[in-house]
């Protein structure tokens, strides 16, 4: 028995009352949540984890038909499959994390209402479990990518910027995490945001160079695309693997700053809400 | 001894009604006060929580200035009717929500069992869920691994441990969930009626575990329940909450009595007609019955009667003209209206018809509580004047009550209370025959 253990339960604590140490002591729970999310999704399905592949493959085929075939949109001279898949895989990670974290309080109301653990564990576990999904889909992309690289004479030029890949993943995860926290904090009391987020994510994809290269965009529209912090990430991803697109350190720095802002605002608002959200959810 | 939990002037305010546009305006107003450095304007308002009365305020105090301490090793029962604030208190203790004002200080880890099986995922196997559930309650993976075999054995479901829990029977599900919870090792355990699950054997096990946790391991338990039998059995102190305030804090039997009496006072149990005044009498020239009451100890019983106190039927009236043909009898029925036993005032006592003299009387019949089993009974009081008719009509005075046994030990049947699912001793009466065992000698 720890005699010097002391726990004080008080009304409102400061916004900055955030204990990394406490989160660390619950690291086993974090991993078990990741495991649960990963295992439970495809239990009792025949194809199981194959679904991780099927979804991006079908989306890519769809894009190839609609945007590549019918729309005749540019892919910067890259094979369509590789181009779309690169966009989809990296966008999916952002969208999946954002969608899931923004539902944290509503989805977990049952557990949160019965037992205490640092609430942030839940969204954190989402970032990690979606990272596994991303890894699987990245593998799929690598297969397609290798095919074009080794068996066709396309102009794919992977380069040293590939080393930035972990940074890109970190930026994507961090940004969607921070934004998700902010949205879930807002959603507890006013559910309006919940309806908003579903199609906002869908629309945001069109405001991000996923199905088109940013080189295609000219004039005023260009400002919007540049202002989108996901643009630089996806462009860099493509640039690293395929050797086409706009890469700039400035763009990445901008994304980094936005990510930090999202995380700070997100964690603060999450913190404020988590203490008493059970009363309003 | 220093208290392990100190609850100081804790209050919790809730907003009534819907969360809608009105909430936004309140939020804005509140925010406006905050940035000017003023107090939250809505803390001033708020009604005492009385759910039966339409309040004036949109805000209500689920708890208001609750203060009490808990010492290490105590099992404190928290009782009160629905809406008294019991669950809110437990929620605050388990940090599910924060108090509006006041402070709770705990010198030890708190684990709460507001519900067993929190976070159980139907698709995961029993084993996976044990780990997940344990971790949610604050155990580390290695702690769970150490206790895993014990947990499975306690739950008694070793055979199904690799099957998804959605295939479990509900009883098995709960057993496994409780087993995990029972093997937590916090200094303070907060429990909310989770024992009302599982079969009788398992309930006995669960209660035993709670006792063991506090007595042998010196842990502190806060236990909320509506089951007075269980409270009596395991708690050594009891707090009665009423309308969000502490009404009583101390001896268990006193607290239970207070709780039962309160129900009557507030008309909660009026429909049970435990105390019946009589207005019209069939033979006002000979005998007048004024009131029939079922008493537990020295107060009016509720619809739950336990063997903590003496239970008796009290009949008040007045003899105008003695009549040797007058009989008063008490009949006992089961919940299906089967007559179990009839007790006659003259046949079953030393009282004789000659004792009836003019004047006001109180006739008391003590129930042999030891002979009752935990189940539903009905008592009927009637009176007849032979060759004339009913002095007290057969269907007029009925008391329905559930009997609760607090100290019932039997090698086969547990103390489970009817109507919980589970075996209680069959039959209606716990009568003792005089047994004799004789061996034939060769």
pLDDT in tens, B198-215: 566 777 777 777 777 777
Residue B225 domain flag: yes
Domain boundary among B216, B243, B261: B261
Q: Are B215 and B302 part of one and the same domain? A: no
Q: Are B81 and B222 part of one and the same domain? A: yes
Residue B428 domain flag: no
Q: Are B191 and B334 part of one and the same domain? A: no
Mean pLDDT of B279-290: 78
Asked if A9 lies within 8 A of B103 by C-beta distance, the reply is yes
Q: Which of A9, A41, A45, A280 to mutate to test the interface with B (most CBs of B within 10 A)?
A: A9
Domain boundary among B261, B282, B314: B261
Q: Are B207 and B255 part of one and the same domain? A: yes
Domain boundary among B261, B292, B317: B261
Checking if the pLDDT of B134 tops 90, the result is no
Residue B17 domain flag: yes
Q: Which of B277-281, B294-298, B322-326 has the lowest mean pLDDT?
A: B277-281
Contacts of A43 in chain B (CB under 8 A): 123-124, 164
CATH classification of the domain holding B309: 2.70.50.60
Asked if A115 lies within 8 A of B119 by C-beta distance, the reply is yes
Average pLDDT, chain B: 77
* Residue span of the structural domain in which B285 resides: 270-404
Q: ipTM of this predicted complex?
A: 0.78
Distance from CA of B10 to the nearest CA of A (A): 9
Q: Which chain B residue is nearest to residue A272, measuring alpha carbons? A: B98
Q: Are B276 and B391 part of one and the same domain? A: yes
Contacts of A117 in chain B (CB under 8 A): 136, 138
Q: Are B290 and B249 part of one and the same domain? A: no
Q: Are B304 and B375 part of one and the same domain? A: yes
- Work out the percent of chain B whose per-residue pLDDT is above 70: 78
Q: Are B282 and B230 part of one and the same domain? A: no
Residue B141 domain flag: no
Distance from CA of B109 to the nearest CA of A (A): 7
Q: Are B255 and B320 part of one and the same domain? A: no
**What is the model's pLDDT at position B197?**
58
Interface of A with B in 85-144 (CB under 8 A): 110-117
Under the banding of pLDDT at 50, 70 and 90, the label for residue B425 is low
Contacts of B130 in chain A (CB under 8 A): none
More confidently predicted of B11 and B279: B11
Distance from CA of A239 to the nearest CA of B (A): 41
Q: Using a CB–CB cutoff of 8 Å, tell me whether B332 touches chain A.
A: no
More confidently predicted of B262 and B97: B97
Q: Which chain B residue is nearest to residue A1, measuring alpha carbons? A: B187
Q: Are B233 and B336 part of one and the same domain? A: no
Per-residue pLDDT of chain A (281 residues; tens, 9 = 90+): 444 577 777 776 666 666 788 888 888 889 988 988 888 777 767 777 787 888 889 988 998 888 888 888 877 778 888 888 989 999 999 999 999 998 888 888 888 887 888 888 999 999 999 999 899 899 999 998 889 888 887 778 888 888 889 999 999 999 999 999 999 888 877 777 778 888 888 898 888 888 888 877 777 888 888 888 998 999 999 888 888 877 888 889 999 999 999 999 999 888 888 776 767 65
Checking if the pLDDT of B412 tops 60, the result is no
Residue B28 domain flag: yes
Q: Are B242 and B371 part of one and the same domain? A: no
Residue B416 domain flag: no
Q: Using a CB–CB cutoff of 8 Å, tell me whether A14 touches chain B.
A: no
Residue B19 domain flag: yes
Asked if A279 lies within 8 A of B14 by C-beta distance, the reply is yes
Q: Using a CB–CB cutoff of 8 Å, tell me whether B252 touches chain A.
A: no
Under the banding of pLDDT at 50, 70 and 90, the label for residue B407 is low
**What is the model's pLDDT at position B415?**
47
- The Cβ of residue B153 has, within 10 Å, a number of other Cβ atoms equal to 11
pLDDT tens string B47-83: 555 555 555 566 778 888 889 899 888 889 888 877 7
Q: Are B17 and B53 part of one and the same domain? A: yes
Q: Which chain A residue is nearest to residue B129, measuring alpha carbons? A: A36
Interface of B with A in 198-237 (CB under 8 A): 218
Give me Rg for the CA atoms of chain B.
27
Distance from CA of A169 to the nearest CA of B (A): 28
Under the banding of pLDDT at 50, 70 and 90, the label for residue B277 is low
Asked if A9 lies within 8 A of B95 by C-beta distance, the reply is yes
* Residue B378 bridge partners (DSSP): B333, B400
State the DSSP code for A64: I
- Longest Cα pair distance anywhere in chain A, in angstroms? 72
Under the banding of pLDDT at 50, 70 and 90, the label for residue B418 is very low
pLDDT tens string B329-385: 888 887 777 788 888 888 777 888 888 888 888 888 888 888 887 777 888 888 888
Residue B421 domain flag: no
Distance from CA of A276 to the nearest CA of B (A): 5
CB pairs under 8 A between A and B: 117
Under the banding of pLDDT at 50, 70 and 90, the label for residue B420 is very low
Interface of B with A in 43-102 (CB under 8 A): 91-102
**What is the model's pLDDT at position B35?**
67
Under the banding of pLDDT at 50, 70 and 90, the label for residue B417 is very low
pLDDT tens string B145-180: 998 998 888 888 888 888 888 888 877 887 888 888
**What is the model's pLDDT at position A173?**
94
Compute the distance between CA of residue B296 and CA of residue A105 in angstroms, rounded to an integer.
48
Structurally, chain B folds into a number of domains equal to: 2
Q: Which of A9, A32, A115 sits opposite B92 (nearest CB)?
A: A9
CATH classification of the domain holding B214: 3.40.50.300
């Amino acid at each position: 028995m720890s005699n010097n253990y002391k726990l004080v339960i008080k009304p409102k604590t400061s916004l900055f009352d955030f204990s990394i140490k406490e989160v660390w002591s619950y690291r086993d729970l974090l991993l078990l949540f990741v495991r649960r999310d990963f295992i439970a999704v495809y239990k009792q399905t025949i194809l199981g984890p194959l679904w991780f592949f099927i979804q991006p493959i079908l989306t890519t085929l769809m894009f190839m038909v609609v945007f590549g075939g019918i729309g005749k949109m540019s892919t910067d001279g890259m094979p369509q499959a590789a181009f779309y898949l690169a966009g989809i895989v990296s966008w999916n990670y952002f969208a999946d994390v954002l969608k899931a974290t923004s539902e944290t309080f509503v989805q977990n109301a049952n557990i949160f209402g019965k037992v205490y653990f640092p609430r942030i564990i839940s969204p954190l576990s989402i970032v990690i479990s979606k990272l596994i999904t991303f890894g699987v889909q990245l593998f799929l992309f690598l297969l397609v990518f290798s095919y074009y690289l080794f068996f066709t004479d396309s102009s794919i030029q992977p380069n040293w910027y590939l080393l930035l890949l972990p940074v890109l993943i970190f930026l994507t995860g961090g940004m969607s995490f921070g934004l998700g926290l902010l949205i879930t904090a807002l959603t507890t009391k006013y559910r309006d945001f919940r309806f908003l987020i579903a199609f906002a994510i869908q629309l945001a994809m069109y405001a991000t160079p996923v199905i088109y290269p940013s080189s295609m965009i000219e004039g005023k529209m260009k400002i919007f695309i540049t202002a989108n912090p996901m643009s630089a990430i996806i462009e860099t991803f493509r640039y690293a693997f395929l050797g086409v697109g706009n890469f700039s350190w400035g763009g990445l720095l901008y994304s980094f700053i936005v990510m930090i802002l999202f995380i700070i605002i997100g964690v603060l608002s999450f913190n404020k809400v988590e203490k008493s959200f059970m009363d309003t959810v | 001894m220093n208290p392990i939990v100190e609850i100081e002037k804790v209050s919790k305010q809730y907003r009534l009604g819907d969360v809608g546009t009105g909430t936004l305006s309140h939020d804005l107003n509140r925010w406006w006060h905050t940035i000017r450095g003023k107090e939250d304007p809505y803390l001033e308002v708020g009604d005492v929580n009385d759910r039966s009365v339409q309040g004036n305020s949109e805000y209500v105090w689920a708890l208001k200035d609750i203060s009490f301490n808990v010492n290490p090793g105590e099992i404190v029962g928290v009782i009160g009717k629905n809406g008294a604030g019991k669950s809110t208190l437990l929620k605050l203790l388990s940090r599910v929500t924060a108090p509006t004002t006041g402070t709770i200080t705990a010198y030890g880890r708190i684990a709460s069992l507001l519900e067993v099986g929190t976070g159980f995922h139907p698709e995961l196997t029993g084993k996976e869920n044990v780990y997940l559930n344990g971790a949610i309650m604050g155990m580390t993976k290695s702690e769970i691994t150490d206790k895993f075999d014990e947990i499975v054995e306690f739950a008694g479901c070793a055979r199904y441990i690799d099957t998804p829990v959605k295939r479990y029977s509900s009883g098995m599900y709960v057993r496994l969930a409780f087993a995990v919870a029972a093997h937590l090792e916090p200094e303070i355990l907060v429990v909310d009626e989770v024992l009302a699950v599982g079969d009788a054997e398992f309930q006995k096990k669960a209660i035993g575990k709670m006792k063991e946790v506090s007595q042998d391991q010196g842990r502190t338990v806060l236990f909320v329940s509506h089951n007075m039998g269980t409270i009596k059995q395991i708690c050594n102190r009891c707090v009665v909450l009423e309308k969000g305030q502490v009404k009583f804090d101390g001896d268990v039997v006193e607290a239970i009595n207070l709780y039962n009496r309160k129900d009557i006072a507030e008309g909660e149990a009026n429909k049970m007609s435990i105390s019946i005044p009589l207005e019209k009498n069939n033979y006002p020239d000979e005998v007048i019955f004024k009131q029939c009451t079922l008493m537990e100890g020295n107060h009016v019983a509720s619809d739950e009667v336990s063997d903590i106190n003496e239970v008796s039927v009290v009949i008040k009236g007045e003899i105008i003209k003695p009549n040797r043909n007058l009989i008063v009898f008490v009949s006992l029925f089961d919940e299906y209206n089967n007559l179990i036993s009839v007790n006659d005032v003259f046949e079953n006592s030393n009282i004789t018809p000659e004792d009836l003299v003019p004047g006001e009387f109180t006739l008391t019949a003590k129930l042999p509580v030891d002979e009752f089993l935990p189940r539903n009974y009905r008592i009927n009081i009637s009176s007849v004047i032979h060759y004339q008719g009913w002095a007290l009509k057969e269907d007029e005075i009925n008391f329905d009550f559930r009997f609760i046994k607090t100290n019932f030990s039997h090698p086969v049947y547990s103390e489970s209370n009817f109507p919980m699912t589970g075996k209680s001793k069959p039959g209606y009466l716990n009568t003792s025959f005089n047994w004799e065992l004789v061996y034939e000698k060769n």
